[in-house]
Amino acid sequence: MPTINDYTFSDVQFTVPENSFISDTSLTAVITISPLAGYTATAADFSLEQGFSNQYVQSVTFTQDGNNVLCTVTFVTIAVMPSANVTIPLCVIGSAEVVEITIAGTVSAVVGTNVTGDATETDTPYSNSGAIGETESLFARTYNAVSGYYWSATPSINITQGNQSNYNIVQTPTFDSNNRLTNISYNVNYIYPSNSISGDHITIRVPNTKEIYNPLPKISGYIFDTSALGNPEQTRTLTVLGIPDTPFSATLNDGATTTTIINNEIIGSKGTYNHDITFPALIMGSPNVTYTIEITGSYVADINLPNPFTVDQLNEVRITIDETNPPTPISGWPAVSPFRDIAALTKNPFTDLLQSSGIWLIQLDYDITPFSGTGTFSVLKQIEISDFSNTEEIITAADGNQTSVTSLTVDDTTGILTDDKIALLDVLAPYESEVSSVDSATTLTIKPAITVSDDQQINFYRDNGNKIEIFNSDVTLVNSLTVNVKCDIVISNTGDTNTDFDLDLSNIISYTP
């Protein structure tokens, strides 16, 4: 079946005897014109070309037959069939027309606060028409966050009624320099199927926008280790906290000279700025140094910590391991020696340490005999940390919330002595405060004032920050008159004041005259 002008037509053939009238076989011939898919054929749109004539054709008419057009050819009644085949061509004018496909639906939008552009709407109609397979725009919507706002949740558009494959929705978001969504537009396109559609529905949801947080410049605090520095050169990091892009400076005073260590820098995007401060070594025997650090600038009023603040650098701290309460006057345990340098540390239990953290080893190894040269020694037990003075840690709790007080109320003052050091957070020197007097079973006078919350743990120390541990104790009876005392004493941290740790030998050995 031939195809032309968006339609097909049938080919009609007859077998007519030679020298007979054509009309005797068939008075008419009917050609069917059928439109292609997506097209329509209308009889009124078809006709013969003007001036058409044929000796065998009397007339040609076009009539509608459903979706088809019938072309009816009526033959001349006296036309005689010749001896050869006869082909009757028709010159038909006309073509099929594109079928118009329609779409009709509604759109609803729920729009949140602080949004401009298109507004909330309910069942707004949309419609259009076109050819099968053609894509056309149905409508567009645009929504803008007002100045100073953005969407933390992305708006959405959904085909809630209809065939989603018939739609092509182009979403165009716009972001600010900080990648925050501030604008979004939707262009809804329709791809025409083979049938007309109605009743589709599209839903748009635009959530509330969120205000962009633009805090005022502020330096809010700092992080710095204010425990006492050692004599060797040491570097510590000052971390300044605040709102990003806030400018500030900082100075360092060593008691004689003030130096600018940070000059008009700004807080980074994460709210911090780090600066390493190197404290030089002190000359042996020179005085201790107190450094004063101050953060300066127009936005430091809200710092919630002391500003300026100080850190001490100590030249020497002396840690002495001595004996007390021997069971009888003894020989073999050295008398207290003069100051020794750090090289002598592993050879003698008396030494001066440069204040710092680390690990040092004092090794005791002495044969103890009575001065009288007579009598009998016996070993009671091995050496434990509790046998040394100034190692006891007293723990109690605050009784109620107390703000900036020098008269401190606690659950129990048992075991606490005058001059004991108070630690709330850090177990290393310098400590927060110290005990001036023990006034009752639950009250203490302290200096300087501290702030505590109800049931907050409070630690009391007598070691001045000098921390020791005991290992490898080996107290052995060599003979009735000789006891060998061996013990490794590890100093894990030195504090801020000379400290004597006295070993109570009466717990370790006994003597019978």
Convert the pLDDT of each residue in 411-421 to its tens digit: 999 999 999 99
pLDDT value at residue 285: 66
HSE-up of residue 150 (Cα within 13 Å, Cβ side): 14
Domain 101-211 is found in CATH 2.40.50: no
CB 17 within 8 A of CB 26: no
pLDDT value at residue 98: 79
Query: What residues have CB less than 8 Å from 84, skipping those under 6 apart?
Result: none
Of all residues in the chain, what percent carry a pLDDT higher than 70?
93
Q: What is the rounded CA–CA span in Å between residue 379 and residue 224?
A: 49
CB 185 within 8 A of CB 206: no
pLDDT value at residue 432: 86
CB 406 within 8 A of CB 445: yes
Is 466 a residue whose pLDDT tops 50? Answer: yes
CB 367 within 8 A of CB 332: yes
Residue 348: band (very low, low, confident or very high) from pLDDT cuts 50, 70, 90: very low
pLDDT in tens, 237-268: 999 999 999 999 999 999 999 999 999 999 99
Sheet with 457-461, side-by-side order of all strands? 394-397, 457-461, 421-423, 433-438, 443-452, 402-409
DSSP-derived secondary structure letter, 21: B
Lowest mean per-residue pLDDT among 298-302, 325-329, 411-415: 325-329
Q: What is the rounded CA–CA span in Å between residue 276 and residue 261?
A: 9
Residue 366: band (very low, low, confident or very high) from pLDDT cuts 50, 70, 90: confident
Positive or negative torsion for Cα 302, 306, 308, 311: negative
Query: What residues have CB less than 8 Å from 351, skipping those under 6 apart?
Result: 318, 319, 320, 340, 341, 342, 344, 345, 362
* Cα radius of gyration rounded to whole Å, the chain: 52
pLDDT value at residue 385: 92
Is 320 a residue whose pLDDT tops 80? Answer: no
Report the chain's terminal Cα–Cα distance, integer Å: 139
Residue 336: band (very low, low, confident or very high) from pLDDT cuts 50, 70, 90: very low
Query: What residues have CB less than 8 Å from 6, skipping those under 6 apart?
Result: 35, 36, 39, 95, 96, 97, 98
CB 302 within 8 A of CB 219: yes
* Across 151-163, average pLDDT: 96
How do the domains of the chain map onto residue ranges?
A: 3-98, 101-211, 219-311, 317-390+466-512, 394-461
173 or 100: which leads in pLDDT = 173
Query: What is the average pLDDT value for the chain, to the nearest integer?
Result: 88
Residue 503: band (very low, low, confident or very high) from pLDDT cuts 50, 70, 90: confident
pLDDT in tens, 433-461: 999 999 999 999 999 999 999 999 999 99
Q: What is the rounded CA–CA span in Å between residue 459 and residue 395?
A: 5
Q: What is the rounded CA–CA span in Å between residue 122 and residue 110?
A: 8
Q: What is the rounded CA–CA span in Å between residue 374 and residue 377?
A: 10
At position 278, the amino acid (one-letter code) is T
| CA distances in angstroms from 128 to 100, 104, 160, 270, listed in the order given | 10, 7, 19, 53
Query: What residues have CB less than 8 Å from 72, skipping those under 6 apart?
Result: 28, 29, 30, 31, 60, 61, 62, 63
Residue 17: band (very low, low, confident or very high) from pLDDT cuts 50, 70, 90: very high
How is domain 219-311 classified at the CATH fold level? S-adenosyl-L-methionine-dependent methyltransferases (2.20.130)
Phi and psi for 166 in degrees, rounded to 5?
-80, -5
Residue 186: band (very low, low, confident or very high) from pLDDT cuts 50, 70, 90: very high
Residue 360: band (very low, low, confident or very high) from pLDDT cuts 50, 70, 90: confident
pLDDT in tens, 191-208: 999 889 999 999 999 999
* Across 256-283, average pLDDT: 93
Phi and psi for 46 in degrees, rounded to 5?
-115, 145
Helix (H) or strand (E) holding 237, with range, is: strand 234-242
CB 352 within 8 A of CB 465: no
Is 464 a residue whose pLDDT tops 60? Answer: yes
pTM score = 0.44
Residue 427: band (very low, low, confident or very high) from pLDDT cuts 50, 70, 90: confident
| CA distances in angstroms from 276 to 236, 314, 436, listed in the order given | 6, 20, 37
Is 3 a residue whose pLDDT tops 50? Answer: yes
pLDDT value at residue 453: 94
Is 338 a residue whose pLDDT tops 60? Answer: no
CB 157 within 8 A of CB 199: no
pLDDT value at residue 406: 95
Q: What is the rounded CA–CA span in Å between residue 478 and residue 476?
A: 6
371 or 172: which leads in pLDDT = 172
pLDDT value at residue 358: 53
Residue 374 corresponds to which tokens in the numbers above? 């007579």
pLDDT value at residue 297: 95
* Across 155-169, average pLDDT: 96
pLDDT value at residue 474: 95
